[in-house]
Amino acid sequence: EIVLTQSPGTLSLSPGERAILSCRASQSVSSHLAWYQQKAGQAPRLLISGASNRATGIPDRFTGSGYGTDFTLTITRLEPEDFAVYYCQQDDRLHRTFGQGTKVEIK
């Protein structure tokens, strides 16, 4: 099973600041990496597929990058609605796995 490790666990930032979230895979997943946003009481929302492809309707302040084992989600300027939990997920292998999540909270 591929283990995805996200860091940091919690990111405390102010609106307008830049957020950088990391996801590291225990084995290469090529570009088969997605990012999701989840707000309290809501279903997850797809942000990024294929490591760097923004999903439909996702603002361009969200950028995904990386390949192989190291991936990054960057939010260039945090808006109030961006404070949430973010998960990475791989679909490279049949047993799909998620990272444990990074919480982006208001400082």
Partner 1 sequence: EVQLVESGGGVVRPGGSLRVSCAASGFTFEDHGMSWVRQAPGKGLEWVCGINRDGSSTNYADFVKGRFTVYRDNAKSSLYLQMNSLTAEDTALYHCARVLRGTEATWDVWGQGTTVTVSS
Residues at the contact surface with partner 1, assessed by CB under 8 A? 1, 32, 34, 36, 38, 42-46, 49-50, 55-56, 87, 89, 91-92, 94-101
Take residue 95 and report the two structure tokens written for it.
Answer: 């047993």
Q: Which is nearer to partner 1, 9 or 16 (CB)?
A: 9
Angle, CA of 43, 45 and 50, to the nearest 5°: 140
Q: Which value, to the nearest 10 degrees, does the dihedral of the CA atoms of residues 35, 37, 8, 89 take?
A: -30
Q: Which is nearer to partner 1, 36 or 62 (CB)?
A: 36
Nearest approach, Cβ of residue 16 and partner 1 (Å) = 28
Nearest approach, Cβ of residue 83 and partner 1 (Å) = 17
Q: Which is nearer to partner 1, 15 or 50 (CB)?
A: 50
Nearest approach, Cβ of residue 105 and partner 1 (Å) = 16
Q: Which is nearer to partner 1, 96 or 107 (CB)?
A: 96
- Residue of 12, 18, 31 whose CA lies nearest to 106: 12
Residue 36's Cα: distance from chain center in Å? 6
Number of helices (H), then strands (E), belonging to the chain: the values are 0, 11
